[in-house]
Amino acid sequence: MKNSGKLVSYVAIAGVVLVVMMFVMLFSTDEDADCDTYNAAPNATGPATNQDALAPGTTVKPMKTGDYTPTSPFGMREGAMHQGVDFGSAPGKPIYASADGTVAEAKEASGFGMWIVLDHNVGGKMWSTVYGHMFPEGVLVKTGEKVTAGQHIADVGYNGGVSPPGPGGAHLHFETWEGGRLTGGHAVDPQPWIDSAREVGSAPPVNAGSGVNAGTAPNQSAPADPTAVSVADWEKIAEHESGGNWAINTGNGYFGGLQFNPGTWTGAGGGQYAPTADKATKEQQMEVANRVLSTQGWGAWPQTSVAAGVRDKKPAAAGTFVGATGTNGGPTQPTPLAADTPSGGELPPLPASKGTEEHWQIDTIRLARAVAVKFPQVKTIGGWRPYDAFPDHPSGRAADIMIPNYTSGEGKALGDAIANYVMANKKIFNVEYIIWVQTYRPADGPSNVMEDRGGDTANHMDHVHVTTVGHGMPGPGQTYGMAPGGAGSDPSINTGGANCTGGTINAVGETGSGADNLAAGKVPAEFEPWYRKAGKLCPQIGSAFLAAQGKQEMGFNPKATSPDGAQGPGQFMPGTWPNYGKDDDGNGKVDPYDIGDGVMAQGRYMCAIAATVDGWVSSGEVSDNTPGGRKALYLAAYNAGEGAVQRNRGFPTDGADYINQTRPYADKILAMEAQFASGGLT
């Protein structure tokens, strides 16, 4: 969803982290819905009754509504990460398997008392659900058993770390893990799973399909409720977003008629249809958009929904749009992109997987959105809380940018880069001050080292704190502009010793620590000084690497324009260029066809990609065990998109284009890099 803002979180807590996911509910047409629960015998492998009541793939709530009260959400809690949600309940209340799966563990676990870990295949992906605080006698399954969605697997207890101790602290702690709890996955907010799951013992919704493909069978072409969003409404938005082209890939990270970015698409369950929205049908895109609307409202399309006149419409029932027809009663076909369709521009809202913008003032929202765009390796941006000794957080003027693996060299470098980026753009963000690694840095004036507050979080070792002027709460139609550039360092930032003298924090792509390893005379004279300068921007990318990439991309033709519209020495699309282009050659203009501007922007872009990939490798999310190592991953991310590398957890192989195009692209450039460095290529 381009130039319209995307995905304002619906969760009203600070520090909400990691990827938000939504699941299509797959229901059967069995009419025997009178069974209130599925009472399996202990250690049974399926429900004792109603074996066919739930179709394969269905997700159900882990407890029956009325048996519990939500007591603690996912997110930061008392300085630590609470990786699930808590259901306060009475001891002995039944707990149900939330999806078909296998018991990975059912045993004692530190802090949990007894826990159960179930592994599931949901939409072709590995997930785990976790259930905690049971007593041994309350665990009704064993490791290795198969379970069925809705099966009674445990009873609520108060074993392990509960507050208050004893029966008054009885609750279910419930987690959801993408990639598996015991197989290297990561915890995500369970609330969307819970919200989209079926009540145990409930009847299927009217619009539900049947069997494992439920939700893909044709349904009514429009919801019966006139107050709900319709096919025609989505078509209006698509006209404003993409000129009505449901198969478009704009080249700047957004796909399909409603312009989903890959994270939004997969987070809302679009992966069950296609890897990216442009590969899905129009109806499937509408169905995924309806899920986004259900959780995030029209803030996901703040401008185009106004232009389309649909802001008064509520989400339709799940399953409404899959298989729906066009407004004329027949299948719709993509139409050409309108010539005047705008591209690029407005910052997308902070993804719900990273945090929530609720309670923040305008400057803080702009800051958080920009950091999320410029530093995708950041997983959490929080900061609002209702009570604090200082007014910054409660007033919505402060954000805390959490640094992954902050004790590592990569983590420290990322924090330094973010601190520099914020201060280099302090006027745009209206920064009052930041705190990073125990150092207070005001927008104006000298820095100083703060007293030791007794912990990494209190000392700001694991996050960059930013306080802005604020400028009030956003109103309807509030815009935030584009992410400003981040080149150069701010002279007011001191990173020397304890006395805060000397040194500067440098942004990713501006460290000056790269390598000028280009052999003399091997590129055109007008390019050579710029490749040498750009090669020093970051340690991952050297001048020979950039020259080899330039040779492959545009053959050292500064006026090159690709069939897709990529321009100049750096081959930038118009929507991407403003994020990396600067007037590096000092001629008074920022021009993608200027050699200096284009090559330096190429260096910044590749350094940013390298930093992202390095973060994934460091966290274990991506493997660099591939020919060419990390450099091959950088080139794959450039050629195929960062999402392809992340999705494949390494060099992309899940498409013919990646094998036939991306792999040869990387191999060729890496071979040329060696030749440019040694002088072997003329």
For domain 25-214, give the CATH number.
Answer: 2.70.70.10
> What pLDDT does 267 receive?
67
CB atoms within 10 A of CB 57: 23
Closest to 600 in 3D by CA, of 580, 576, 577: 580
Extract the tokens encoding 534: 């750009």
Contact 171, 161 (CB under 8 A): no
pLDDT of residue 142: 93
N residues, the chain:
682
Q: How many CB atoms within 10 Å of residue 220?
A: 17
Three-state secondary structure call for residue 187: strand
**Of 586, 542, 546, nearest in space to 570 by CA:** 546
DSSP state of 193: H
Q: Kindly state the tokens that stand for 474.
A: 């956003």
1-18+215-329 and 528-678 share one CATH topology?
yes
Q: What are phi and psi of 154, to 5 degrees?
A: -165, 170
CA distances (Å), 171 to each of 20, 116, 415, in order? 24, 14, 37
Instruction: Characterize the bridge pairing of strands 171-178 and 186-188.
Output: antiparallel
> What's the whole-model pTM score?
0.33
Q: Which residue has the tokens 């298989």?
A: 323
| CA distance linking residue 193 with residue 196, whole number of Å | 5
Partners of residue 33 on adjacent β-strands: none
- Of the candidates 238, 339, 324, the residue with the CA atom closest to the CA atom of residue 284: 324
Q: Is 524 helix (H, G, I), strand (E, B) or coil?
A: coil
Positions in the chain whose pLDDT score sits under 50:
1-53, 203-223, 323-344, 486-513, 681-682
Contact 391, 383 (CB under 8 A): no
Give the separation between CA 541 and CA 530, rounded to whole angstroms.
Answer: 14
In the numeric block, the tokens 């080139």 are attached to 635
Per DSSP, helices labelled H in 477-627 are 528-534, 543-554, 577-580, 595-619
Give the helix/strand (H/E) hosting 382.
strand 381-382
**pLDDT for res 63:** 94
- Residue found by looking up tokens 């041994």 in the block: 136
Cα–Cα distance measured from residue 362 to residue 478, given in angstroms and rounded to the nearest whole number: 8
Radius of gyration of the chain from Cα atoms?
26
Give the DSSP letter of residue 249.
B
- The distance of Cα 267 from the centroid of its chain, to the nearest Å, equals 8
> Could you tell me the fold of the domain covering 1-18+215-329?
Lysozyme (1.10.530)
Domain segments of the chain as ranges = 1-18+215-329, 25-214, 362-468, 528-678
Place of tokens 């139609």: 477
Nearest to 95 by CA among 46, 21, 39, 51: 39
Among candidates 572, 563, 637, which has minimal Cα distance to 598?
A: 572
Output the DSSP codes for 423-453.
Answer: HHTHHHHTEEEEEETTEEEESSS--EEPPP-
Task: Report the alpha-carbon distance of residue 156 to residue 172 in Å, rounded.
Answer: 6
Report d(CA 165, CA 661) in Å as an integer: 60
Two tokens at 552? Answer: 């492959």
Residue type, 210: S
Q: What is the DSSP letter of 169?
A: G
Cα dihedral across residues 355, 636, 288, 576: positive or negative: positive
Is domain 528-678 annotated with CATH 3.30.70.360?
no
At 124 the pLDDT is 65
Residue type, 682: T
Q: What's the 3-state SS for 87-144? A: EEECCCCEEECCCCEEEEEEEEECCCEEEEEEEEEECCEEEEEEEEEECHHHECCCCC
Residue 102: CB atoms within 10 A of its CB come to: 16
Q: Which residue in 174, 152, 167, 173 sits closest to 90, CA to CA?
A: 167
- The number of CA neighbours under 13 Å toward the Cβ of 168 is 3
- The span from the CA of 406 to the CA of 589, in Å, is 38
Q: Which residue has the tokens 């950041």?
A: 378
Assess contact for 376 and 612: CB atoms under 8 A: yes
Distance CA 658, CA 642 (A): 13
- From the list 290, 34, 46, 8, the residue with the least C-alpha distance to 152 is 46
User: Which tokens go with 592?
Assistant: 């993608």
Rounded Cα distance, 199 and 116, in Å: 20
